[in-house]
Amino acid sequence: MLLKDRVAVITGAGSGIGQGIALRFAHEGAKLALVDIRPAALEETASKVKDSGADFETYTGDVSITADVESFFSQTVERFGRVDICVNNAGIGNPPMPLMSMTDEGFDQTIAVNLRGVFLCMRAAAQRMVAQGGGGRIISVSSQAGKTGYPMLGPYCATKAGVILLTQTMGKELGPQKITVNCVCPGTIDTPLLRGTLDPILQATGETFEKWALKNMPTIPLGRVGYPADVAKVITFLASDEADYMTGQAINITGGQEMH
């Protein structure tokens, strides 16, 4: 077990990649604080994690609200005694439109969840890890869209690029405390978020998700879309002792779709 008895906070744990991380961490022996804005989604993940016998707690909260973040981190420390791993996974897409038509609200909401939310959780985790001593792991979910711009995804791309630079900065700041700070940049991962983002396109073209995926295969050298488990295994590695000489990195998990 790579994460035996490590205490991990996972945001956005109710769905998609976050649920995949929760299941993999449970399998690796971690104790879990599962956070999501949607209680029903958390319930679904909780029922799956229960089967593994892992020790876990669920917290409903919004990562963009400071009081919520402070509350779920404090409750985690009260419940489990410490926090060893923080996975900043919660994120949203932006309303799909070109930047020249983007609304103020669409821009601000994406920044609030994807960038401010990651900052708030990084800060809350770092303060507790430094206070308790013994190092730690902070891992955020950026995107290949944080390395390359994509039409209609302006605010999303900007936030994900921001996550990479927050990661580098905090990695430099916390190295002396043996807290590593890394992020992953997934590509095309089959989750409710991806399907929701594609919905307007699929409705306009009449294509199914499966047909769209096949059409896009030539851009993915490994020839398939990714799944939450593909992302979860890399995050498990980054959270483990195996990655103790890595910090400030932004690792692609894209089947080769993005290589820089």
The Cα angle at residue 116 between residues 186 and 48, in degrees rounded to 5: 50
Taking CB under 6 A as the criterion, which residues in 21-40 touch ligand NAP? 36-38
Is 171 a residue that touches ligand NAP (CB under 6 A)? no
Is 155 a residue that touches ligand NAP (CB under 6 A)? no
- Name the minimum Å distance from CB 160 to ligand NAP: 7
Contacts with ligand NAP, 174-213, as mask; x by CB under 6 A: ------------x-xx-xxxx-------------------
Q: Which is nearer to ligand NAP, 7 or 235 (CB)?
A: 235
Is 69 a residue that touches ligand NAP (CB under 6 A)? no
Residues binding ligand NAP: what is the number (CB under 6 A)? 29
Is 12 a residue that touches ligand NAP (CB under 6 A)? yes
Give the largest Cα separation in the chain, rounded. Answer: 55
| Distance (Å, whole) CA 70 – CA 128 | 11
SS3 at position 189: strand
Bridge partners for 59 per DSSP: 35
Q: Is residue 156 annotated as a catalytic residue, yes or no?
A: yes
Contacts with ligand NAP, 83-122, as mask; x by CB under 6 A: ------xxxx--------------------x---x-----
Burial class (CB in 10 A: 0-12, 13-18, 19+), 231: buried
Q: Is residue 160 annotated as a catalytic residue, yes or no?
A: yes
- Name the minimum Å distance from CB 4 to ligand NAP: 26
| Distance (Å, whole) CA 171 – CA 101 | 36
- Name the minimum Å distance from CB 251 to ligand NAP: 12
Tokens of 93: 């897409």
Q: Give all strands of the β-sheet with 31-36 in edge-to-edge order.
A: 56-60, 31-36, 7-11, 85-88, 136-141, 179-186, 250-253
Catalytic residue among 160, 178, 215, 233: 160
Catalytic residue among 156, 172, 211, 233: 156
What is the distance of C-alpha 189 from the center of its chain?
Answer: 12
What is the distance of C-alpha 230 from the center of its chain?
Answer: 13
Is 62 a residue that touches ligand NAP (CB under 6 A)? yes
Cβ distance 6 to 183 under 8 Å? no
Tell me which residues are annotated as active site.
Answer: 156, 160
Positions in the binding site for ligand NAP (CB under 6 A):
11-12, 14-18, 36-38, 41, 62-64, 89-92, 113, 117, 141, 143, 186, 188-189, 191-194
